């Protein structure tokens, strides 16, 4: 959906080294190959922001994204958060809904409006 914009602005998908060294990035591997990752920011206002979620296209629909979300929920609870918020790619709405996220408004992104969603993680 955003291929042309991302090709024109590759910095939009950059994973800052600081997020890795701060322990905010979790990686999913299958048979020693990275098939996905999630970036969960530190809590603010009771929520952790899911700043990035990516699954290799050939690994999609294999449970990798669901496992990354379950891991993020556990980490958010450990950090004292009660929810995870995300600005969702419109093409990923069905996935986020399937793992329990609920609509929470709209965000403005550099590529246009996108849905905000939230997931309660309990304590």
Q: Count of domains in the chain?
A: 1
Quick check: is 8 in a domain? no
Does some domain include residue 5?
no
- Predicted structure pTM score: 0.85
Asked if the structure places residue 15 within a domain, the reply is no
Which ranges constitute the DSSP H helices of 3-121? Answer: 3-8, 17-21, 64-78, 93-98
Q: Is residue 63 part of a domain?
A: yes
- 86: in domain: yes
Q: CATH number of the domain at 92, please.
A: 3.40.630.30
Tell me, what's the pLDDT at 81?
96
Q: Among 74, 69, 76, which Cα is nearest to 98's?
A: 69
The DSSP letter of residue 82 is S
Q: Is residue 16 part of a domain?
A: no
Average pLDDT of every residue of the chain: 87
42-71 pLDDT, tens digit per residue, is 999 999 999 989 898 888 889 999 999 999
For residue 60, being part of any structural domain is answered with yes
């Amino acid at each position: 959906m955003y291929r042309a914009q991302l090709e024109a602005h590759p910095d939009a998908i950059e994973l800052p080294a600081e997020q890795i060294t701060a322990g905010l990035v979790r990686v999913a591997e299958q048979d020693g190959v990275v098939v996905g990752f999630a970036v969960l920011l530190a809590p603010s206002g009771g929520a952790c922001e899911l700043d990035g979620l990516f699954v290799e296209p050939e690994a999609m629909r294999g449970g990798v994204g669901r496992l990354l979300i379950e891991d993020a929920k556990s980490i958010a609870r450990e950090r004292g958060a009660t929810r995870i918020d995300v600005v969702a790619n419109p093409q990923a709405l069905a996935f986020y809904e399937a793992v329990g996220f609920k609509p929470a408004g709209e965000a403005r992104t550099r590529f246009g409006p996108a849905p905000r969603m939230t997931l309660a993680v309990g304590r």
